[in-house]
Amino acid sequence: MSRIGKKPIIITDGVNVEINGNIILVKGPKGELKFQHHPKVKIVKNDKTILIEKSGSSKLANSLHGLTRCLVANMLEGVTKGYEKKLEIKGVGYRAALSGAKLTLTIGYSHPVEITAPEGITFQVQKNTITVSGIDKQKVGQIAAEIRSVRKPEPYKGKGIKYADEIIQRKAGKAAKSANA
């Protein structure tokens, strides 16, 4: 039995949760999110808590139990606080610019790379830091990963786009030839 799946989810003030069959709708001050869960898992709403129950003891039901609980908890946190990921740009001449909902990256290619923000995601640019924010944790993480994949940090000089809390393991360059050889 999942230790995570057994924990109840507490509904904070200002959040409205509706359950219609396999669909759960969460509305909060920052917006609303919708999720369709698997039929092997049942979501039960009490006055101020949500419980996730599994039907049966199959391997699939066991794995979906904790997953569904985490996804619903992330939805509740997203509509109240929101999520954000920070990315840093390092390198001479590497920069990011924001025009409307488009992020333009100039990072050493012959052309600038443009990334359009999907619905519910906003970009902010300050000097060499890009902030991706929104209410859906999965979308925020996916867009941040797509921005990072445009120019991943390289291990010799550390140039590229990296997460703010990421540590790049540096490698030593070529060793100079010795004079005796």
How sure is the predictor about 73, in pLDDT bands with cuts at 50, 70 and 90?
very high
User: What average pLDDT does range 35-60 have in this prediction?
Assistant: 90
The CATH class that applies to domain 83-163 reads: alpha beta
Cα maximum dimension of the chain: 81
Comparison of pLDDT for 181 and 18, the residue scoring more: 18
Enter the tokens of residue 149. Answer: 């994949």
- Please write the tens of the pLDDT for every residue from 19-38: 998 999 999 999 999 999 99
On the question of pLDDT at 1 being above 60, the answer is no
> Is domain 3-80 classified as CATH 3.90.930.12?
yes
Label residues 106-138 b or e (16+ Cβ within 10 Å = b). Answer: ebeeeeeeebebeebbebebeeeebebbbbbbe
- Residue partners of 103: CB distance under 8 A and separation at least 6: 96, 97, 114, 115, 116, 117, 123, 125, 130, 147
User: What average pLDDT does range 37-48 have in this prediction?
Assistant: 91
**CATH 3.90.930.12 domain residues, the chain:** 3-80, 83-163
- Please write the tens of the pLDDT for every residue from 126-171: 999 999 999 999 999 999 999 999 999 999 998 999 999 999 999 9
As a whole-number percent, the residues of the chain with pLDDT over 90 amount to 81
On the question of pLDDT at 181 being above 70, the answer is no
Confidence (pLDDT) at 105: 95
Separation between Cα atoms, residue 12 and residue 84, nearest integer Å: 20
pTM of the model: 0.87
How sure is the predictor about 174, in pLDDT bands with cuts at 50, 70 and 90?
confident
Query: Average pLDDT, whole number, for the chain?
Result: 92
On the question of pLDDT at 95 being above 70, the answer is yes
